[in-house]
Amino acid sequence: MSETLAHSGNVDDSKRTWLIATSCAGAVGGIAAVVPFVSSFQPSEKAKAAGAAVEADISALKPGEKMTVEWRGKPVWILRRTPEQLAALSTLDPQLADPKSERKPAEQAPAYARNATRSIKPEYFVAVGICTHLGCSPSDKFQAGAQPSLPDDWQGGFFCPCHGSTFDLAGRVFKNKPAPDNLEVPPHVYLSDTRLLIGDDKKA
């Protein structure tokens, strides 16, 4: 009798150990299955390249500074313009090829950015950083004044080193330059004062 009970106790211990081991293995397997499932809610690299919206934190951007994010495989600039830079924009219209972005309005900017500053908030300028001539990326030339390859009355803007096209700080191309159009303003929306969503202007 005692031998039978002792034998039964050993069987119970074995079952208990087996159940614990099986439960642990199941839990690990469950976690391994859930992690990729949760990750699938984030846009994949392929989705980002295809045009998924990209969020940018602009809280650290100071007046006169620019940051770059990638959207659809392109560089998108976010420039925080100073009051002086904004004031200079209104004086440049006679020098620009298309000051009001009238040539290809739907391609150049969404309706809410077809204004003097080509922006939702005048302080912030958002543009695709690719020259409309042959696809080079212009360089920052924010400092006003005479500089190599720039006019003496330069008010700040962008200079394309490939073929010499120049753009003001609203991405508008100057006259008699190879670039045919202004820089593109992508769809975007402010989620808050410090968060900007690029590639989707329907979310608020």
Positions marked catalytic: 163
- Please, is 79 exposed, middle or buried when counting C-beta atoms within 10 Å of its C-beta (0-12, 13-18, 19+)? buried
| Distance from C-alpha of 32 to C-alpha of 167, rounded to nearest angstrom | 51
**Would residue 43 be called left, alpha or beta, if left means φ above 0 and alpha means ψ between -120 and 50 degrees?**
beta
Element holding 7 (H helix, E strand): helix 2-39
Sheet holding 124-128, edge to edge: 66-71, 74-80, 124-128
Burial per residue of 135-144, b for 16 or more beta-carbon CB atoms within 10 angstroms, e otherwise: eebbeebbee
CA angle at 100 for the pair 56 and 126, rounded to the nearest 5°? 5
CB contact at 8 A, 79 and 156: no
Instruction: Record the tokens describing residue 146, joined without a space.
Output: 């005479």
Q: CA triplet 89, 114, 72: central angle to 5 degrees? A: 105
